[in-house]
Amino acid sequence: MTMPYSDEELQSRLRLGEDSGWEFKEVEFRGDRPARHHRDDWADEVAAFANASGGVLLAGVTDAGDVPGMSRERLDAVESLVREIASDSIKPAIRVEAYRLELDGASFLLVAIPEGHAQHDSPGGSYVRVGSSKQPMTPDERMRLAQRRGQVRFGSFDEQTVSETGFATLDENLWKPLLSTEGLADPVVALEKLGLLAADEQGVTRATVAGVLVCTPHPEQFLPNAIVTAVRYRGAERGSGQIDAQEIVGPISRQVTQALAFAARNMQVGARKAPARENLPEYSMQALFEAIVNAVVHRDYSIRGSRIRLSIFSDRLEICSPGSLPNNLTIESMGERQSTRNEVLTSMLGRMDVGIVEGTGGRRYFMERRGDGVPIIRRETRELTGREPEYRLIDGSELCLTLPAAEPDSWPASVVITVRRDGLSLAGADVLALFPNNTWKRATTDASGEAHLDLHSVHLPMTVYFAADGCSARVEQGWIPSERALAVELVALAGGGSVVFPEGTGHIPGLAGRLNPILDTSFRTYLYASNIAINDGQQQPVRFVPSEEELRLADANGRELLVRIAAIMGRSSLIEYRAA
């Protein structure tokens, strides 16, 4: 049994406090026994987690996140109490996992509570976890819980059968591309293996929820909530009036492409006009594609009367998807861990050709690598807008993603960067300004030490490389031109200097040959060199640590230099060199 959280994660959780997945419980003792009043209160908390998406109870931790510590005897007593509560005070019983942990010499008990397979009642009634507290379940919530968990024999809701359906309900044009040649010989058996057909309680073959969503032209006829409602608003609020609206229906593959098309046609696009026109959209199409795919595949289809909502405002785009986060997933861990509510849908989208759709990033299928969606959304949004997307959970029953709109400028903005050495203006310094998406602008300082750059946006955080003969390399990170001017002082470097490689390869003055520093997609860095030996003939490519490690380079003429790759971003590198 492996503890699911590291010490760093636990320390962070104690600092952040309680939320929809974590509860802190201080323990009062009578001697070495927990006080009796803990039993019913803790039972209500544990049941509330089980009736939601599961959670973690930290016994022996105060509301402020402090850990007073417990003796071995008291830990025994608390663990015994927790197991008695889970088996005797909650109906039906819950199987919990208990871990004895220690932070900074103070011990406590971590109780991991799984999502239940039924409605769990406790001494106080029926509770569900909402935010950082338990709430009594409403009749509607109890009904939805029964819908989600009523058929325990199915692993997930999308595997449940849909009444009044059968093999004939599925459209051959939609299911045929999913089957192999062998599967086409007996499609009913093949579709059952895929989870798109299943036998109901009477043994009748029915379409599953996933089968209806993937392989029927109008899933909303069987699942009225299987719709995406898309609206473009005039301003920043819903009351500002609608410019465009659409109810998007059909199999989920069509819902993805039509929702993406709706967003594209309602997106403002600026332009960069120098040296040639380049469109600058408000939102990354790749981020939108990932967000819409995640919404349709991970939403809770058991919640009646609730649809996916795509809302475009003047300053942001929101995608709200019914359902809480599954399996103890939290907002904070979404980019690090993966979990899915609808296993069959996830599997099917991994088989379905996406076709020619903008924003796919060159992929063949709607889903290719599980867990990539959130990191892509965050990276693409940050690179385009300089800001982070925001996820939030509303009332524990709806996940909303907000993408901030970029601020495209119709005309370039001219900025000036000043470079000095020893307090004097430095002419001939190489200045490379990199946008978050790794595109760049380059200029050389004039006699006044000024580099003039035309930028398509002055609102994004930029990284700037500075290089000059006889000077050390310098990097300036996080510079937002609209917020401050940039002036730097370069440090003299006797017998050396620095150079910029803006696009892949380049050469160092006096060294015969070319260098090719590489930063790969896994953020590993290594160096190739043409007609140059690295570290006395070390086999290439040679791994290096940017800004820290010096490499010895020697060309065929016997010239040797010590070289430090001060920075590398995308295909752009900053190199510092000195005599060996």
CA nearest to 377, candidates 274, 440, 291: 291
- State whether residue 158 is helix, strand or coil: helix
pLDDT for 153: 46
pLDDT for 483: 85
CA nearest to 471, candidates 393, 419, 435: 419
Instruction: Please give the residue that has the higher pLDDT: either 379 or 359.
Output: 379
Q: Answer whether residue 448 shows pLDDT above 50.
A: yes
Pairwise CA distance, residues 255 & 516, whole Å: 44
Residues facing 198 on adjacent strands: 206
228-404 has CATH 3.30.565.60 classification? yes
pLDDT in tens, 321-365: 998 877 667 777 777 766 778 889 988 988 888 877 777 767 788
Give the count of alpha carbons within 13 A of 192, CB side only. 13
pLDDT for 55: 93
Pairwise CA distance, residues 63 & 72, whole Å: 22
Give the lowest-confidence range in 3-12, 125-134, 490-499.
Answer: 3-12
Residues facing 205 on adjacent strands: 199
Q: Answer whether residue 292 shows pLDDT above 90.
A: yes
Domain ranges of the chain: 7-142, 151-221, 228-404, 413-579
Pairwise CA distance, residues 227 & 95, whole Å: 37
Region 124-147 average pLDDT: 82
Pairwise CA distance, residues 175 & 178, whole Å: 5
**Fold exhibited by the domain 7-142:** 3.30.950
**Do 130 and 396 meet the contact criterion of CB atoms below 8 Å apart?**
yes
**Do 206 and 285 meet the contact criterion of CB atoms below 8 Å apart?**
no
**Do 156 and 169 meet the contact criterion of CB atoms below 8 Å apart?**
no
Q: Mean pLDDT score of the chain, rounded to an integer?
A: 88
Q: Is residue 39 left, alpha or beta, with left meaning phi > 0 and alpha meaning psi from -120 to 50? A: alpha
**Do 433 and 441 meet the contact criterion of CB atoms below 8 Å apart?**
yes
pLDDT for 210: 94
pLDDT for 45: 95
Q: Answer whether residue 305 shows pLDDT above 80.
A: no
Q: Answer whether residue 278 shows pLDDT above 70.
A: no
Residues facing 251 on adjacent strands: none
Region 461-486 average pLDDT: 93
**Do 499 and 575 meet the contact criterion of CB atoms below 8 Å apart?**
yes
- State whether residue 75 is helix, strand or coil: helix
Architecture of domain 413-579: Sandwich (2.60)
pLDDT in tens, 61-83: 999 999 999 999 999 999 999 99
Which amino acid is located at 231 in the chain? Answer: V
Omega within 30 of 0 (cis) for the link into 541: yes
pLDDT in tens, 28-39: 998 888 887 778
Percentage of residues in the chain with pLDDT exceeding 70? 92
Per-residue pLDDT band at 152 (split at 50, 70, 90): very low
pLDDT in tens, 396-440: 788 999 999 987 654 457 899 999 999 899 999 999 999 988 889
User: Cβ neighbours of residue 376 under 8 Å, at least 6 residues apart?
Assistant: 286, 287, 290, 361
Q: Answer whether residue 491 shows pLDDT above 90.
A: yes
Pairwise CA distance, residues 333 & 329, whole Å: 6
**Do 392 and 331 meet the contact criterion of CB atoms below 8 Å apart?**
yes
Q: Answer whether residue 273 shows pLDDT above 90.
A: no
User: Cβ neighbours of residue 215 under 8 Å, at least 6 residues apart?
Assistant: 170, 171, 174, 175, 178, 196, 207, 251
Region 456-473 average pLDDT: 91
**Do 178 and 194 meet the contact criterion of CB atoms below 8 Å apart?**
yes
Percentage of residues in the chain with pLDDT exceeding 90? 61
Per-residue pLDDT band at 543 (split at 50, 70, 90): very high
